[in-house]
A = this chain, B = another copy of it.
């Protein structure tokens, strides 16, 4: 019953998120630079769970947000995420040919164009987020709203850069080169927290900031993101061993081939599963302390922990 109800809600909400994302994609300006725009849109339209903008949307509404200022930020967080996928897939890093069952961006548009399209998506994320200021123009509470937008921009920058996702990616890349013997649990936690959790914390936190939530609520959303992100990444490790290639849209056992240390190599599949369960339990407990209707979010967090793709 719950599955049916919330499953339908997820579908509806994802459709809304999808619409928002497409509305903010760059349009044809009639100039020579068609290919890079095509490559950007190809990657953005290649599907995916749209988890990050969905979490932002949920957090924004949970704290009573009602305006359109959240929309450019929803598109922006997905652009940043997609930028990181394009660059991660490049021959210089993971050299992956498939992503979500489709050829990766460089496989279609070539390496130089994929590199530039990734740069352009990161930059366009900020161009897009700046559009939020347009929505407050002339409004009575413009000054207050603009302050929230500035705080949201700062959070977006910090969670993406060298104190966020890119820090985690850089340490990940260093460790792949140096062989997996040197990675202990602390270092792996660092990599996962930065590489994955930061970009889950960001949308939850930004949603709360834009809605004008209290500092303690913003902090709570951050904490929630940390737990969901870590559980998400460990589930990825598990699926790389136990998953179905067709369902996942990418080859499995890539961690083993690349001799990567993961939660599965450190704790075994069962140990990794226990960790996902305990993190999910903590996330749910946290959500139960939040006033307002968190039933859908709780269901979503549980669903993510049980996902098979």
A residues touching B (Cβ–Cβ < 8 Å)? 26, 29, 31-33, 35-37, 40, 83, 87, 90-93, 110-113, 115-120, 122-124, 126-127, 130, 133, 143, 146, 150, 153-154, 157-158, 160-163, 166-171, 173-174, 177, 187, 190-191, 194
Residues on B with C-beta less than 8 A from A120 are: 161-162, 166, 170
Question: Nearest 8 CB-CB pairs, A to B?
Answer: A33-B167, A36-B170, A127-B157, A123-B161, A92-B111, A112-B173, A120-B166, A32-B171
CB distance from A166 to the nearest CB of B (A): 5
Residues on B with C-beta less than 8 A from A170 are: 33, 35-36, 113, 116-117, 120
Taking a contact as CB atoms under 8 Å apart, the answer to whether A36 and B166 are in contact is yes
Bound Cα distance from A35 to B157, whole angstroms: 19
Taking a contact as CB atoms under 8 Å apart, the answer to whether A124 and B171 are in contact is no
Bound Cα distance from A154 to B123, whole angstroms: 11
The copy count of this chain in the complex is 2
Residues on B with C-beta less than 8 A from A187 are: 32
CB distance from A40 to the nearest CB of B (A): 7
CB distance from A83 to the nearest CB of B (A): 8
Taking a contact as CB atoms under 8 Å apart, the answer to whether B154 and A130 are in contact is yes
Taking a contact as CB atoms under 8 Å apart, the answer to whether A33 and B143 are in contact is no
Q: With A32-B187, A110-B177, A158-B127 as known contacts, state yes or no: A93 contacts B115, CB within 8 Å.
A: yes
Bound Cα distance from A123 to B157, whole angstroms: 7
Given contacts A33-B168, A127-B157, 19 further A-B contacts (CB under 8 A): A33-B166, A33-B167, A87-B115, A87-B119, A90-B92, A110-B177, A113-B170, A113-B173, A116-B166, A116-B170, A119-B119, A119-B166, A122-B122, A122-B123, A123-B157, A127-B158, A130-B150, A130-B153, A130-B157
